[in-house]
Structure 1
Amino acid sequence: MRPELGPYVAAALWRRQMLEILRAWRMSDAHAQVTADVLGAADLMGIDSHGMALLPLYHQQIQDGGATATPIISVVHDRAAVALIDGDAGFGQVPGMMAVELAAERAEKFGIAAVAIRNSNHYGAAGVYVRRLAEQGLIGISTSSVWRAAIVPTGGLEPRLGTNPIAFAAPSARGKPFLLDMATSTAAIGKLKLAQRAETDIPEGWALTREGSPQRDPNLALLDTLLVPLGGHKGYGLAAMVEVLSSVLSGAALTPLRGKPGKRHDVGHFVLALDPAMMRGSRAEFEADLDRMTDALRQTPPANPARPVMVAGDPEYACEAERLSHGIPLPAKLAEQLRGIAEQANAAFLLKEERAST
């Protein structure tokens, strides 16, 4: 039975709407296709904060001059198993997928490959990139810096690091990779925006007030962006590690030194691919053992019988199957934002009829 949670949009129409807006921004068709694929994949997996909901942010960044929809992306260095890409201030999906393709190609040859990206922008959900690698039989790791500081170092009162995501994926013989995708803050900024749209308080421990006490109001949390690192010192350390891989290694802007964002955000990303066959002799041996491990984890006796133990990726795959079948929920506020963006860009707004459906 179709869930009665609100308006739903078929995945194909959802993607068409994104393409209409991206092309209206003068993004090339090839770049628009890649960008829509990455954003749409996040929406299908239930990562709503990193899908089409990003278009209002991207629209604002284009207007502010922090990003361009028409970049000339180039490979700066190409040295066997290592490469560096310059994103020319475009959004990160296209150079991110270029990095995936380069890393996969070189890992097939050398067993391991790493690609860094500089002069980029927000690249969406990090898990989308490593999932693509795992679906090719490779282990994938991806990290990204962020265009503005949001995480407060443990014990501090001002943000110095971005929410700096880490994603890891490993191939499975059953076709659904082990997939971990996490922010290094307790909650990503997108989660605050979702709470703001829903007009609900955020949990204690997500953000701080300017005085350092817990913040529950998502509007004030978004205004101040004083996010708590995941697990205190551990999340702070992981966020700094991501900054090293994404920014220091690539030569992108260092978030702790940014101050107010300049015209170009110069975000950095990092992608690593590893062929497990180089360690195990065959990918099949690795994949079989991974499945044995994850099966053992799922068989852990649950504290609540109604909520069985899962492993990383299980919730996302379940959501993806549901949304491919029933459609993607369209919040009213997002629909209105998209309508306004489409009108400004002279793009067709295709979701108007979906507002009446449930």
Structure 2
Amino acid sequence: MVASIPSDRPVIRSQQEPAGGNGMQSETAERVASATWRRQALAILSAWGMSDAHAAVTADVLVAADLMGIDSHGLTLLPLYDQQLGNGGATATPNIEVVHDMGAVALIDGDAGFGQVPGMMAVDMAAERAGRFGISAISIRNSNHYGAAGVYVRRLAEQGLVGISTSSVWRAGIVPTGGLAPKLGTNPIAFAAPSARGQPFLLDMATSTAAIGKLKLAQRAETELPEGWALTRQGTPQRDPNLALLDPLLAPLGGHKGYGLATMVEVLSSVLSGAALTPLRGKPGQKHDVGHFILALDPAMIRGSRAAFEADLDRMVDGLRATDPIDPAHPVMVAGDPEYAREADRLAHGIPLSSKLAAQLREIAERAGAAFLFEREGAST
């Protein structure tokens, strides 16, 4: 999909990782080859009843996040997905359909399945229509968590298109500025633009200071949350990740600006598609009805040439990277650089596997009747 999977080497011994990305795994964690990582995801997803095609797309999106160091949106999501299947919030066997199709725009109903399959379906539809009309927008309703937003726009950019993706979230986590109750999800925004060099400009951000997944990684690492990530019901900083996950009150990124961006994402993802509105979401256990939005733009239709657009984009980011750094040991980067560095390292040396994630996945695999492929050469201990 977005990165080739190398020939399988089940377990690779501890390696140092380059700095960057938003992962919180131990820098010297046991490494597992990405091919084994993907097969483990497939084994669990298939055991849940997913079709081969749906399991393959879902596994690809999850592994792509782990390869880029976005550990909060990779296989660490499987415990959440297991919980949602168990409480009725999601189904492993959705009947995904296009509700209406009007040329450059369309609406997809995800039938309460996880969001990776309708998300990639929307990407493919948007890419084809942007090639015909210059621009295309696809909305998705009745979906669930769709993983890392950047995976979708990267696929568009690798086809020479500018891509934008947003998503609402299955439960509220962001507190409106000045408020004491969560009303919006972490509502991610992703943007990608094609480069002549093959690695797109890639921005992928939550509209909260930190995503829920990063709280889970802090919990797994048994570390305190940085001040400014989460609040208590009294409006004071919440430093305990366990309490923050029990009652998430996340600070919006940059205060009122992040609050405004999160609201914008809710409009594009939920109001436009007709999905459930996060501030008015129903009781736990109901279908989550998450909404997504995918936009694709062909720069050639405006600029006249994709090559000219890509050359100018490369010149722009080169100018940014050439900025004199505060610390010469840490040169200026642009969005996407840390993720690409992590991806190259993890494709070569494997993906870090924490003992806590291994234990969670082993329990899920055993309960589902799936093989636990990480139980080799000490990788699960």
TM-score normalised by L of structure 2 = 0.93
How far off its partner does 1:261 sit? 2.9
Letter in structure 1 aligned against 2:132: K
Q: Which runs of 5+ in 1 are unaligned?
A: none
CA distance in 1, matches of 2:377, 2:180: 44
SS of structure 2 residue aligned to 1:301? coil
How far off its partner does 1:357 sit? 8.8
CA distance in 2, matches of 1:258, 1:304: 46
Tell me whether 1:199 sits opposite 2:216 in the alignment: no
Aligned to 1:92: 115
Does the 8 Å contact 2:188/2:265 carry over to 1? Answer: yes
How far off its partner does 1:354 sit? 4.7
Does the 8 Å contact 1:115/1:271 carry over to 2? Answer: yes
Aligned to 2:372: 349
Tell me whether 1:34 sits opposite 2:66 in the alignment: no
Tell me whether 1:61 sits opposite 2:90 in the alignment: no
CA distance in 1, matches of 2:185, 2:223: 24
Taking structure 1 as reference, are residues 357 and 217 closer, same or farther at Cα in structure 2, changes over 3 Å only?
closer
Does the 8 Å contact 2:150/2:191 carry over to 1? Answer: yes
Does the 8 Å contact 1:134/1:171 carry over to 2? Answer: yes
CA distance in 2, matches of 1:284, 1:355: 49
Aligned to 1:302: 325
CA distance in 2, matches of 1:289, 1:325: 31
- Trace 1:251-290 onto structure 2 (pairs within 5 A): 251-290=274-313
CA displacement 1:9-35 (0-9 Å, x = unmatched)? 000000000000000001000000000
CA distance in 2, matches of 1:200, 1:294: 35
SS of structure 2 residue aligned to 1:141? strand
Does the 8 Å contact 2:358/2:380 carry over to 1? Answer: no
Aligned to 1:216: 239
SS of structure 1 residue aligned to 2:251? coil
SS of structure 1 residue aligned to 2:378? helix
Tell me whether 1:18 sits opposite 2:45 in the alignment: no
Aligned to 1:104: 127
CA distance in 2, matches of 1:357, 1:331: 8
SS of structure 2 residue aligned to 1:215? coil
How far off its partner does 1:294 sit? 0.1
Q: Tell me the matched-pair count.
A: 358
CA displacement 1:168-224 (0-9 Å, x = unmatched)? 000000000000000000000000000000000010000001100111111111111
SS of structure 2 residue aligned to 1:20? helix
CA distance in 2, matches of 1:88, 1:354: 40
Taking structure 1 as reference, are residues 357 and 20 closer, same or farther at Cα in structure 2, changes over 3 Å only?
closer
Does the 8 Å contact 1:9/1:354 carry over to 2? Answer: no
SS of structure 2 residue aligned to 1:245? helix
Tell me whether 1:173 sits opposite 2:196 in the alignment: yes
Aligned to 1:6: 29
Does the 8 Å contact 1:8/1:357 carry over to 2? Answer: no
How far off its partner does 1:54 sit? 0.3
How far off its partner does 1:279 sit? 1.0
Does the 8 Å contact 2:108/2:140 carry over to 1? Answer: yes
Does the 8 Å contact 2:15/2:29 carry over to 1? Answer: no
CA displacement 1:137-161 (0-9 Å, x = unmatched)? 0000000000000000000000000
Q: Which runs of 5+ in 2 are unaligned?
A: 1-13, 17-26
Tell me whether 1:189 sits opposite 2:189 in the alignment: no
Does the 8 Å contact 2:92/2:113 carry over to 1? Answer: yes
CA displacement 1:97-121 (0-9 Å, x = unmatched)? 0000000000000000000000000
CA distance in 2, matches of 1:315, 1:100: 24
Letter in structure 1 aligned against 2:362: R
CA RMSD after TM alignment: 1.2
